[in-house]
């Protein structure tokens, strides 16, 4: 005979987390400030003190909030600090790149408990890659003593155009086998209590910077990922701008040279085929093979006859003129395209990330030069262009916050 279920135990985490509109406002305040007092909530919401007391006491009684010490005194008794209960449920963040996957398990306060990173190949069947993701995520849960039913949110970033409403990839150039694959359904089978959200990998990087990086407090900025491909995450009025069909920011397929090579998308001279990591590596190989760069030739021989964009960066740091020119050429092409976006969108910040951003400052300085040369003076008056300080953390951090955004949206009742 099985033991009777505790009458206070919820049927599922989502049932337990279901919020009314007032509770959702408190959660919004906590997500922005981590810890708050009752007076803080009153100030953020313009509620009376009795109303705040009633809502907070109800949320504490439901186990949604916990008191965690005391704040600074404002002349009377020290106020109690409140935060979300860490043990309500857990979030899985999945950042799938062209050659690697970054995973994280976090609590509802976006605090990362454990990370896992490893190589993958997105060009194969999705079931193969996602089986590896499943193995690693379940191992993370096991190490934390958690069960799949305790996962209440999953955020997934993928390197291709995403139909955000359907959570599927649409004609992804790097991973054609993934087109229309039901990513959301796959994760729902693993985590039946979870809200699952899927977005383009650059969008989640931009979201990571918005919530935890250089984008905090910045209403309008671009996150530009330069790696195997090139794309941009657009933050407009403090929100990710996805466009009418989810393809906003696909700048890698803006034409950089009408006489350039044919891109894998079928068009000619796209920025991605001209200036991304593979193009930098290909030009480095050509220089090494022609004898134009002894340093690149030496690196190519050491690498078994191949070069990566990072090798071109290493040669540039040794002062190799050819390598520097290759990087500057890519930077100028990227900057020329960004200049048009600056004139159109007028962001106050452009963050450059992705694997190729690690090749050194020649790329960043060339991008800056091109943007300043081709943009209007007013559009660049307050513009900052710099490398992302979060590096590889941006994507998985954004995946966590994507999951949290849609968890609270779904559970937020009539919010």
Contacts of 193 (CB under 8 A, 6+ apart): 12, 13, 14, 89, 149, 150, 151, 152
Note the pLDDT of residue 225. Answer: 96
CATH pick for 214-389 out of 3.30.420.40, 3.40.50.300, 3.40.50.970, 2.40.128.640? 3.30.420.40
Backbone angles phi, psi at 195, to 5 degrees: -85, 125
d(CA 365, CA 168): 36
Query: What stretch(es) of the chain map to CATH 1.10.10.10?
Result: 13-87
* Three-point CA angle 195, 200, 205, nearest 5°: 95
Place of tokens 């007092």: 37
Note the pLDDT of residue 21. Answer: 86
Average pLDDT score, the chain: 91
Query: What stretch(es) of the chain map to CATH 3.30.420.40?
Result: 89-208+394-411, 214-389
**Beta bridge partner(s), residue 221:** 235, 349
CB atoms closer than 10 angstroms to residue 406: 17
Note the pLDDT of residue 101. Answer: 95
Q: What is the sign of the dihedral through the CA atoms of 46, 52, 54 and 56?
A: positive
**Beta bridge partner(s), residue 112:** 106
Give the pTM: 0.89
Note the pLDDT of residue 408. Answer: 81
d(CA 101, CA 395): 10
Angle, helices 277-290/294-302, rounded to nearest 10 degrees: 110
* Selection from 168, 90, 103, 113 nearest residue 134 by Cα: 103
286: its two tokens: 């050509």
Note the pLDDT of residue 15. Answer: 53
- Burial grade of 307 (CB within 10 A; 0-12, 13-18, 19 or more): buried
Q: What is the CATH number of domain 89-208+394-411?
A: 3.30.420.40
Note the pLDDT of residue 72. Answer: 73
Q: What is the CATH number of domain 13-87?
A: 1.10.10.10
Note the pLDDT of residue 74. Answer: 64
Note the pLDDT of residue 75. Answer: 62
For 317-328, write each residue's pLDDT tens digit.
999 999 999 999
| Positions of the chain with pLDDT lower than 70, given as ranges | 1-17, 71, 73-76, 410-415
For 341-357, write each residue's pLDDT tens digit.
999 999 999 999 999 99
């Amino acid at each position: 005979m099985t033991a009777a279920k505790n009458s206070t135990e919820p049927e599922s985490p989502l049932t337990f987390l279901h919020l009314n509109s007032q509770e959702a406002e408190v959660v919004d305040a906590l997500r922005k400030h981590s810890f708050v007092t009752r007076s803080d909530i009153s100030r953020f919401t313009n509620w009376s003190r009795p109303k705040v007391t009633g809502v907070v006491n109800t949320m504490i009684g439901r186990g949604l909030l916990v008191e965690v010490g005391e704040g600074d005194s404002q002349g009377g008794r020290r106020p109690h600090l409140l935060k979300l209960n860490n043990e309500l449920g857990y979030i899985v963040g999945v950042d799938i790149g062209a050659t690697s996957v970054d995973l994280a398990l976090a609590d509802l306060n976006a605090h990362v408990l454990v990370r896992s990173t490893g190589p993958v190949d997105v060009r194969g069947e999705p079931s193969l890659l996602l089986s590896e993701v499943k193995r690693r995520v379940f191992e993370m849960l096991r190490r934390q003593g958690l069960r799949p039913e305790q996962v209440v949110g999953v955020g997934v970033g993928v390197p291709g155009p995403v139909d955000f409403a359907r959570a599927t990839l649409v004609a992804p150039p790097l991973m054609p086998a993934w087109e229309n694959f039901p990513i959301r359904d796959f994760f729902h089978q693993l985590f039946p209590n979870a809200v699952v959200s899927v977005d383009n990998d650059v969008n989640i990087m931009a979201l990571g910077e918005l919530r935890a990086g250089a984008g905090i407090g910045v209403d309008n900025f671009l996150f530009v990922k330069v790696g195997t491909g090139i794309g941009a995450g657009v933050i407009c009025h403090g929100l990710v701008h996805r466009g009418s069909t989810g393809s906003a920011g696909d700048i890698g397929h803006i034409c950089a040279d009408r006489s350039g090579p044919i891109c894998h998308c079928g068009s000619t001279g796209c920025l991605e085929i001209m200036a991304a990591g593979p193009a930098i590596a290909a030009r480095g190989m050509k220089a090494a093979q022609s004898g134009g760069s002894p340093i690149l030739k030496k690196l190519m021989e050491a690498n078994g006859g191949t070069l990566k964009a990072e090798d071109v960066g290493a040669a540039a740091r040794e002062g190799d003129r050819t390598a520097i020119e290759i990087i500057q050429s890519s930077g100028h092409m990227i900057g020329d395209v960004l200049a048009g976006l600056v004139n159109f969108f007028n962001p106050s910040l452009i963050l450059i990330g992705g694997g190729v951003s690690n090749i050194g400052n020649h790329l960043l300085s060339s991008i800056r030069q091109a943007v300043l040369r081709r943009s209007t003076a007013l559009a660049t008056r307050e513009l900052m262009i710099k490398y992302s300080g979060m590096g590889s953390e941006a994507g998985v951090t954004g995946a966590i916050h994507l999951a949290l955004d849609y968890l609270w949206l779904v559970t937020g009742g009539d919010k």
